[in-house]
Chain A
Amino acid sequence: MCLAIPAKVIGVEGKTATVTIEDVEYTASLLLLDDVKPGDFIMLHAGFAIEKVDPLEAAETLQLLLDMERNRPD
């Protein structure tokens, strides 16, 4: 139930955002999150945006994982 899905913000009106997950539109309440803009990715949980996805941190984690792949012995 603590499941949250990354969703792309396409519009913001007051404390409500319109977001998309694989081209399907959902509404996300912004009562728990400030400074959300179109283009941001948020984690959507039970109709609420609970946190933003940080693109720089995401790239860093992925790089760590890719390094493991690159250093894999043949």
Chain B
Amino acid sequence: MKYVDEYRKKELILSVAEKLRTVSKKEIVLMEVCGGHTMAIHRFGLNSLLPPNIHLISGPGCPVCVSSQHFIDKAMAYSKIPDVIITTYGDLIRVPGSTTSLEKERAAGNDIRIIYSVLESLEIAKDNPGKNIIFLGIGFETTAPATAAAIIRAKQEKISNFFVLSAHKVMPPVMKALVEEGVKIDGFIAPGHVTAITGTTIYNELASDYGLGVVVTGFEPADIMQAIIMLVIQIESGKQQVEIQYQRVVHKEGNKIAQKLLNEVFVAGDDRWRGLGIIAESGLKIREEFYSFDAENNFAVEIPESTEPKGCICGQILRGLKTPADCSLFIKRCTPTDPVGACMVSGEGTCATYFKYRS
């Protein structure tokens, strides 16, 4: 496949690894923020190619994983309202809520549909005028513009039975929160597709005020190895800054059309993250002008106090403090077919990735 295969050649990756060994001396901790990077690192066994002084830790960049228990419970409550159709991206339906999961609610007869694109929700809304369609909006800056585009289209086409429960989140506040909390990080392997939308200025503070290296990175193994070299060179020389490795897709200024849609529909607000609690200005809330599409403003539901699964350390794993191997449930009671926590549900969750590629 073009723009994929050429970045996966074994010889190429081995030579980049060799170059890395010649430039790397210090003990360095790098966090890959995005679940897609975690998946690629383990799938291609990149850890085994790194010198022992370079440590990679996984971060909070899996939307399904960081969606709070409260959000899952609220989605479940919506699914029980008569004449409601829930639409959602795949993995979310398997996340265990406090008492049940969307998958179990679907088996019980509630109308919960997996969609590939949020625009399908609009078609479902048009085909079912007597029903209310609630789309579960999860994802970071990469995904949220699509939701914004769907809301604007719904407004233009006067579709009045389409609603969004937004748990969309933004990356910079959580990256800062981790550093402020004291998680030891020297640099970030920053998310390529988030940055394709936002542009690179969102990371400037991390480099200037926190002295961290930031390299916006593609998702093929040669991309990731090259980004690690760039970070190592920055950190070894004390010249931490924001750089783009993923030049073929990411521009410094980002995607202006997507940014405009995001700002038109959403406004930053405090949001709840699994394992991290409430982080200021880290969520995307629907603006007042679009309240007629905001599920929370149109449907009242009672939600009992949410409880995290007992023994699950997903929250600490999302903060880079622990790995799945530290969890007493991992493999023994928690597997991809019978997950206890959200990090085992999503294909790009750290636990699911460790499980799939464990040696």
* B2, B89, B196, B245: the one within 8 Å of A1 (CB): B89
Known: A65-B16, A65-B222. A2 touches B35 (CB 8 A): yes
Q: How far is the CA of A52 from the CA of B251 in the complex (A)?
A: 10
* A61, A68, A69: the one within 8 Å of B248 (CB): A61
Chain B proximity of A65: nearest CB distance (Å) = 5
Known: A45-B142, A65-B226. A29 touches B193 (CB 8 A): no
How many pairs of A and B residues are in contact by the CB < 8 Å rule? 144
Q: Say yes or no for B276: interface residue by CB 8 A criterion.
A: no
Is the Cβ of A33 less than 8 Å from the Cβ of B257? yes
Is the Cβ of A32 less than 8 Å from the Cβ of B258? yes
Q: How far is the CA of A32 from the CA of B120 in the complex (A)?
A: 16
Of residues 46 through 63 on chain A, the ones whose CB sits less than 8 Å from some CB of chain B are: 46-48, 50-55, 57-58, 60-62
A34-52 interface mask toward B, CB cutoff 8 Å, 1 = contact, 0 = none? 1000000101011110111
Q: How far is the CA of A27 from the CA of B18 in the complex (A)?
A: 41
By a CB distance below 8 angstroms, the chain A residues around B139 are 1-2, 46
Is the Cβ of A58 less than 8 Å from the Cβ of B146? no
* B146, B191, B247: the one within 8 Å of A46 (CB): B146
Main secondary structure of the interface of A (DSSP, over half): mixed
Is the Cβ of A50 less than 8 Å from the Cβ of B142? yes
Is the Cβ of A51 less than 8 Å from the Cβ of B1? no
Chain A, Cβ-Cβ closest to B250 = A51
Chain A, Cβ-Cβ closest to B6 = A62
| Highest count of chain B CB atoms <10 Å: which of A60, A61, A71, A72 | A61
Chain B proximity of A74: nearest CB distance (Å) = 11
Is the Cβ of B18 less than 8 Å from the Cβ of A54? no
Q: Say yes or no for A10: interface residue by CB 8 A criterion.
A: no
Q: Please tell me the size bucket of the interface on B.
A: 35 or more
By a CB distance below 8 angstroms, the chain A residues around B299 are none
Is the Cβ of B2 less than 8 Å from the Cβ of A8? yes
Q: How far is the CA of A2 from the CA of B191 in the complex (A)?
A: 8
Q: Say yes or no for B117: interface residue by CB 8 A criterion.
A: yes
Q: Say yes or no for B255: interface residue by CB 8 A criterion.
A: yes
Known: A48-B146, A72-B15. A41 touches B2 (CB 8 A): yes
Is the Cβ of A58 less than 8 Å from the Cβ of B3? yes
Q: How far is the CA of A32 from the CA of B19 in the complex (A)?
A: 38
Which B residues contact A (CB, under 8 angstroms)? 1-4, 6-7, 11-12, 15-16, 18-19, 34-36, 61-64, 89, 91, 116-120, 138-140, 142-143, 145-146, 149, 153, 191-194, 196-197, 218-219, 222-223, 226, 245, 247-251, 255, 257-258, 261, 346, 348
Complex A-B, nearest 5 residue pairs according to Cβ-Cβ distance, in ascending order: A47-B117, A58-B248, A69-B15, A57-B247, A6-B3
Which A residues contact B (CB, under 8 angstroms)? 1-6, 8, 21-22, 27, 29, 31-34, 41, 43, 45-48, 50-55, 57-58, 60-62, 64-66, 68-69, 71-73
